[in-house]
Amino acid sequence: MPFINVNQEASQEVKIYYQDIGQGKPVVFISGWPSNSQMWESQLDVLPKNNIRCIAYDRRGFGKSDKPWESYDYDALTSDLDELLKQLDLRELTLVGFSMGGGEVARYLSKYNSEGRVTKAILVSTVLPFLLKTDNNPEGLPQEMFAQIEKEIYADRPKFLANFAKDFYSVSLLNKTVSDDFLNANQIITLQSNGNATVKAMRSWSTTDFREDIKKINVPTLIIHGTDDKTVPIEVSSDRTADMLPQAKYIKYDGAPHGLFYTEKEKLNNDIFWFVNEYQSINS
């Protein structure tokens, strides 16, 4: 299996697992919380057939990557991304960040893109610009909500993840957006992390203010969000991010949940291809 080694901590080397599929224009996929690169299966099965080289990696603490005790802040996470791009010598690439992964996109573009490796960015169901409600961010979500998430993870992580997935895909008795089998598979994927990494990564995406990072984004950007997102409501995230990036293209998926990478996979694949290939359809 392919890994890169990063030495974020002087005393501990961290191995980062990645998938590298296909040939063509490089696109790097950054997963959401609490998942890993397996969440991108519907993209990695299709886009390489259309001259897209797909690279997806497991964030530290998740999937097949090492799980250090500390260093789940966005500076450490984005340094891992930078090492991946350098070690694979990727250039003229598109970054696709889903949910939590949008943070790595913004931080990378604000701090690491001096060589111009990244030429386009796609933010899907993003946590940007700043989720936590504070005195200077009244549009955010209350700290009590995130404290409850942490409490539930430590109390019964499998139960929390099962319930979280239902909101993630907007599943209800009357709205079966995904099958029970899919939910079971999703549970297996999210359990590949551990409680420590799950909580510390959650603290990062829930409390990090990306507003200054967003000001430094200077590459063509596509924002995609579902209007029925119950996990990261569109009003507190992508609507605000789009206002801060007036040059970005903003596509709202009507009625789509947070996990639209699966429920709207054909539409998302086409929009990724369209944006990477200068607005050509995947079928053209």
Q: What is the pLDDT of residue 240?
A: 99
Pairing status of strand 249-253 against strand 221-226: parallel
Strands of 212-258, DSSP E: 221-226, 249-253
- The pTM assigned to this predicted structure is 0.96
What percentage of the chain reaches a pLDDT higher than 90?
93
**Active-site annotation holds for 99:** yes
Name the pLDDT band for 173 (thresholds 50, 70, 90): confident
Q: What is the pLDDT of residue 174?
A: 77
**Spatial CA neighbour of 214 closest among 115, 111, 139:** 111
**Spatial CA neighbour of 6 closest among 69, 105, 103, 86:** 86
Q: What is the pLDDT of residue 283?
A: 61
Out of 31, 225, 258, 271, the active site residue is 258
Q: What is the pLDDT of residue 249?
A: 98
212 has pLDDT over 90? yes
Please tell me the total number of residues recorded for the chain in this structure: 284
Out of 31, 35, 99, 125, the active site residue is 99
Compute the average pLDDT of residues 134-139.
98
270 has pLDDT over 70? yes
Compute the average pLDDT of residues 156-170.
97
10 has pLDDT over 80? no
**Exposed (0-12), middle (13-18) or buried (19+): which is 275, by Cβ within 10 Å?**
buried
Q: What is the pLDDT of residue 1?
A: 73
Name the pLDDT band for 28 (thresholds 50, 70, 90): very high
Name the pLDDT band for 35 (thresholds 50, 70, 90): very high
Q: Where are the alpha helices (DSSP H) in 156-224?
A: 157-168, 180-190, 195-207, 211-215
Chain position carrying tokens 């200054």: 212
259 has pLDDT over 90? yes
The full set of domains in the chain, from first to last, is 3-276 (3.40.50.1820)
**Active-site annotation holds for 11:** no
Compute the average pLDDT of residues 60-70.
97
Average pLDDT, the chain: 96
Q: What is the pLDDT of residue 278?
A: 84
Q: What is the pLDDT of residue 243?
A: 98
Asked whether the beta carbons of 53 and 44 are under 8 A apart, the reply is no
Out of 31, 229, 237, 271, the active site residue is 229
Question: What tens digit of pLDDT does each residue of 82-134 get?
Answer: 999 999 999 999 999 999 999 999 999 999 999 999 999 999 999 999 999 99
Compute the average pLDDT of residues 178-192.
97
8 has pLDDT over 90? no
12 has pLDDT over 90? no
Q: In whole angstroms, what separates CA 172 from the centre of its chain? A: 24
226 has pLDDT over 80? yes
Radius of gyration of the chain (CA): 17
Q: What is the pLDDT of residue 7?
A: 75
Q: What is the pLDDT of residue 175?
A: 85
50 has pLDDT over 90? yes
- Write a three-state SS string for 60-99: CCCCCCCCCCCCCCHHHHHHHHHHHHHHCCCCCEEEEEEC
